[in-house]
A and B are shown apart, each in its own frame.
Chain A
Amino acid sequence: QVQLQESGPGLVKPSQTLSLTCTVSGGSISSGSYYWSWIRQPAGKGLEWIGRIYTSGSTNYNPSLKSRVTISVDTSKNQFSLKLSSVTAADTAVYYCARSPRERGVVATYFDYWGQGTLVTVSS
């Protein structure tokens, strides 16, 4: 059974960089069959896709965050990571990592496995 687990600081100061890691267990991040995404959810609000990475290191980002986001992968540790720079209170949210199967001929698919989420609060 595949499991994803987010980890990282729960409190980040304004203007600093938010850094989170997602550790994948029960399957190899290098399999080439999946994309790995970050998604966030402010308290009481909806879901926002941040970006994704493929095993090769190829990335796609949400244009609304693109200038501040970097997603990377470490296949040796079976992990992928999120960095969000110049954070403000508006970046306070629960951050999820999620997996989506890669299918031939389509831009993307559904998110079939999610981490439990980690709350990141931006405050001084």
Chain B
Amino acid sequence: EIVLTQSPDFQSVTPKEKVTITCRASQSIGSSLHWYQQKPDQSPKLLIKYASQSISGVPSRFSGSGSGTDFTLTINSLEAEDAATYYCHQSSSLPFTFGGGTKVEIK
């Protein structure tokens, strides 16, 4: 099973600041890494697919990068509505796994 390790677990950020979340895979997964945003009492929402591909309707301040074992989700100019927990997910091999999540709080 591929383990995804996210860091940090928690981040408190001021609006308009830049947020960087990392996801490290226990073995190489190419670009088979996707990012989701989950707000309280809501289901996860797809933000980025295949490490860096944008999703229609997702604000352009969200971007992703990386390949192999190291990946990054960046939120440029954080807005209040971005308060949420962010998860990475690998689809390279079964069983599909998720990172432990990064909670982003707005100061």
Q: Once the chains bind, are B96 and A49 in contact (CB under 8 Å)? A: yes
Q: Once the chains bind, are B92 and A107 in contact (CB under 8 Å)? A: yes
Answer whether A107 and B43 are a contact pair too, CB < 8 Å, given A46-B100, A48-B98.
no
Chain A interface size range: 20 to 34
Chain A residues near B93: list those with CB within 8 A: 107
Q: Mark B63-107, 1 if CB is under 8 A from A, else 0.
A: 000000000000000000000000101011111111111000000
Chain B residues near A47: list those with CB within 8 A: 44, 87, 89, 98, 101
Chain B residues near A108: list those with CB within 8 A: 32, 91, 94, 96
| Cα distance A48–B73 in the bound complex, in angstroms | 21
Chain A residues near B43: list those with CB within 8 A: 96, 114-117
Q: Measured between C-beta atoms, what is the minimum distance from B8 to chain A in Å?
A: 15
Answer whether A110 and B87 are a contact pair too, CB < 8 Å, given A47-B98, A49-B97, A64-B95.
no
Chain A residues near B101: list those with CB within 8 A: 46-47
The B interface is mostly helix, strand or loop, or mixed, namely loop
Q: Once the chains bind, are B94 and A60 in contact (CB under 8 Å)? A: yes
B46 at the interface (CB under 8 A from A): yes
| Cα distance A116–B41 in the bound complex, in angstroms | 9
| Cα distance A49–B36 in the bound complex, in angstroms | 14
Chain A CB within 10 Å, residue with most, of B50, B91, B97: B91
Q: Mark B20-52, 1 if CB is under 8 A from A, else 0.
A: 000000000000101010000011111001100
Q: Measured between C-beta atoms, what is the minimum distance from B85 to chain A in Å?
A: 9
Q: Once the chains bind, are A109 and B49 in contact (CB under 8 Å)? A: yes
| Cα distance A100–B50 in the bound complex, in angstroms | 13
A90 at the interface (CB under 8 A from B): no
A62 at the interface (CB under 8 A from B): yes
Chain B residue nearest to A6 in the complex (CB):
B43
Q: Can you name 18 extra interface pairs (CB under 8 A) apart from A107-B91, A108-B94?
A: A47-B87, A60-B94, A61-B95, A96-B44, A100-B91, A106-B32, A107-B94, A108-B91, A110-B46, A110-B50, A110-B89, A110-B91, A111-B46, A112-B46, A114-B44, A114-B45, A115-B43, A117-B43
Kindly list the 6 A-B residue pairs having the minimum CB-CB distance in the complex, ordered from nearest: A114-B43, A108-B91, A110-B34, A47-B98, A62-B95, A49-B96
